[in-house]
Amino acid sequence: MDDMATSFVLRDVRQGDAAAISALVTGLSERWIAPDCTPDGASILLASMGVEATAERLRGDGYRYAVAELDGQLVGVAALRRPAHLYHLFVLGHGQRGGLARRLWDRVRVHAAPDEPTTVNASVWQRPLICGSDSSLPARNGSSAASIHADAVASGMTAEHASLL
């Protein structure tokens, strides 16, 4: 791990983080996820990532968040929706390739129900990172690939891309 990776600060979320979390996840989703959705699906997805929707999740007890900062700026976020769904895992480009996403995941996964399979809605870009190139292989988090699902209807993903999942 390089020197930059060791300077990231991981911490639990604060209510005041809603705007920064929303900006991070919305910006990355506009670039990497929304283009693979129908226009209506992209609108629904991005609205769910807005400041007020994010603040609402932070106020409730159904989600556990962790954030990563570099020089006081948010560079990564992970969120677990209870009982065991990886709701968000986003890291800005300059925070990637150094284990930061793994560290964020490790920080929130301890709040998952131990008797529930971990689920995640993966974009087309994320699926190979989670399952590897063979979907029959176990996922990297220890869950079987069968426990990982893509909610194509809710995300508005096109049928062509949903078939790739």
Nearest to 12 by CA among 73, 70, 71, 78: 78
Residue 143 sits in a domain whose CATH number is 3.40.630.30
Query: In percent, how much of the chain has pLDDT > 70?
Result: 70
- Return the ∠ at Cα 84 (arms to 110 and 74), rounded to 5°: 65
Task: Domain of residue 123: give its range.
Answer: 3-162
Residues 6+ apart with CB under 8 A from 114: none
The contacts found for 52-58 with CB under 8 angstroms, 24 or more apart, are 52/18, 53/22, 54/18, 54/19, 54/21, 54/22, 54/25, 55/15, 55/18, 58/13, 58/15, 58/17, 58/18
pLDDT at 53: 96
What sign for the dihedral angle of Cα 117, 131, 22, 72? positive
Please report, as a single letter, which amino acid is at residue 13.
Answer: V
pLDDT at 89: 92
pLDDT at 93: 84
DSSP structural state of residue 10: E
Count of structural domains within the chain: 1
> What does the block give as tokens for 57?
């999740």
pLDDT along the chain (165 residues), means of 10: 65 96 95 88 93 96 95 94 93 85 92 90 60 44 34 34 34
pLDDT digits (tens, 9 = 90+) for 29-54: 999 888 888 899 899 999 999 999 99
The pTM (predicted TM-score) of the whole model is 0.73
* 9, 47, 79, 126 from 120: Cα distances, Å: 25, 19, 11, 10
